[in-house]
Each structure stands twice: as C-alpha cells, then as structure tokens.
Amino acid sequence: MKLGMALLDGRASLVAACDDGVVPLAAASSVPLPADVLGVLAGGDEAMLACLRALAFAARPENAALRRPMAPLLAPLVPGKILGVGRNYADHAKEVGGPALAAPRIFLKPGSSVCGPGAAVRIPPAVTKPDWEAELAVVIGTPARDVEAGNALLHVAGYTALNDVSAREFQFDQPLPMTSFAKGLDGFCPIGPWLVTADEVGEPFDIEVVCRLNGDEVQRGNTRDLIHSVPALIAYLSRYMTLQPGDVIATGTPAGSGHFRKPPRYLRSGDALEIEVARIGTLQHTIA
C-alpha cells in the first residue's frame, strides 16, 4: 500500500494510492481512522489493517465514488526525528575524502526542515552552497530499542524518498563541521511522494536511487552498495536512541552531489529536482 497525505477540498487528508488517483481513506472506512500517516503508524497493526480494508472497499467497481483523481500530495509525515547517515556509499565516501569510518556517521534533521512533493524549497539568500542528496528513507513502524540486525526489518513500516538538501558551507567551510545545521534549514528535507509499506517494497538490499537535475541524471546508486545496510543502521541507532513509529532514517547518498563536481554545481532558483527511488516513486520539487 502507498500511504500519503493529499490536499483534498482544501484539507490535508489521509489517502492511499489507487490505479486512477487517490482514495481518501476516512470516507471508505467502516471504523474511525487516524487523521494522518503518523497516526496510522502510532496505531500499529490495527490502524494499518483498517487502512488496507478501506482501500480494498474503495477498489470495488461499485465504489468508484470513493476514488478521487490524483490530488496534490503533501509530505507523507513529519517525523519525530530524522536521522541522517553521512558517507554511507563507497563512491560518495571516496569523493568526500577523509578517513575510513568504522561506525555510521550520524546527524539529525529537524521536523521543521520537512516539506512535501512539489514544494519550492526556498534557499536563504545568505546560503551560497546549497546542494542535493538523493536518498532512500526508512520509516520506523514499531518502537526499536537494542534491536539485533537480524530482527531490525520487523520494525520498518515502509520506505519513502528524501532529498537531504545541504548548505555545504556549514559542512566544509567552517573551522569545525556543522553538519546538522547544514542539513536542517527550513525546507531542506523534501520527502515523499508516498510511504510505501514494507510488504510492497520487499527487502531494502537492491533498490536503485536516482537524482535528476533539470532532467539530467546527476546521481545513480543502489542500496546494495550501502556501507551500513538498513538493518545494520537500525541496530546501531537503537543501541543509543529508541526509534519511534514515524521516525525516519535517511540512509545516505551515492556519488554525484553538486559540491564534489568539478567545477561544483550548487542549486539555484528555478532548478527542478527528481529523486527517483525504485519501488517507491519519484519525489519532485523545485528551488525558489
């Protein structure tokens, strides 16, 4: 199931994707549903099952009135915490340089950085080196604390796409890096278009991640090349922080960000980005 939030009749509504558009799930459900995706995750199996039932009900031929044409989508959720992982693809680690790292390099992005599909990300005039990072994002479904890697995927609700937008001057032009700040500015975390449930995605070990800038491919990677796999990341993080339903792990970006190009290519007003993650969909947004 592809779960998301859509703007319908001027209101943010919990929806699921169907063949010809979206199903506003509240109208198709026989039981009350949470108002948003985060609520569904907090509601556990019962809430997820109610969503599946509502989607199946709306899919019946006689219930076409419950289906709506494709509507503008919003961020599927605003996570309690977004954990990012630096240098997690070998080709990207090489272009960044620096020492080899045994443990994942973690930073945080705040909820205030989240925006949705179609957003125009505003770059503060003082920022001179805004950059892109296409990533697979893992969405936690059940609380995870001290989880073994072998059981880690049981805690995953699903996956989405994410652009880990980064103001490079705060990472690389400061006496000491300010990574979370560089990646935490307003709108610097477009996510979506959908939360695709784990049953539909399958295992996250062979998922293509592509970034296109104004139609040109600038990044292409595959999660088979992750240095720290999705289960390894969950196991590592859960030793130190309880991962809660709706928390997001941005798993890192492959080579090809603008800062590491020769010459560098930073984002500018009017740029159009597409973050395409196989089996998830394409997250599109622009730069204002």
Nearer to Zn ion, 24 or 204 (CB): 204
Q: Which member of 29, 48, 93, 133 binds Zn ion (CB under 5 A)?
A: 133
Between the two ends of the chain, the Cα-to-Cα distance in Å is: 32
Nearer to Zn ion, 211 or 287 (CB): 211
Q: Pick the piece of the chain touching Zn ion (CB under 5 A) from 55-63, 127-135, 198-206, 218-226.
A: 127-135
Please state, as a whole number, how many other Cβ atoms lie within 10 Å of the Cβ of residue 199: 10
CA distance 90 to 79: 28
Q: Pick the piece of the chain touching Zn ion (CB under 5 A) from 59-67, 97-105, 125-133, 167-175.
A: 125-133
Please state, as a whole number, how many other Cβ atoms lie within 10 Å of the Cβ of residue 10: 6
Contact 164, 89 (CB under 8 A): no
171 binds Zn ion (CB under 5 A): no
Closest CA relative to residue 214, chosen from 167, 269, 155, 278:
269
164 binds Zn ion (CB under 5 A): yes
Paired sense of beta strands 248-250 and 82-86, if any:
parallel
Nearer to Zn ion, 197 or 253 (CB): 253
253 binds Zn ion (CB under 5 A): yes
Nearer to Zn ion, 164 or 276 (CB): 164
Q: Collapse the DSSP code of 239 into the 3-class scheme (helix H, G, I; strand E, B; otherwise coil) and give the result.
A: coil
131 binds Zn ion (CB under 5 A): no
219 binds Zn ion (CB under 5 A): no
Binding site for Zn ion (CB under 5 A): 133, 164, 253
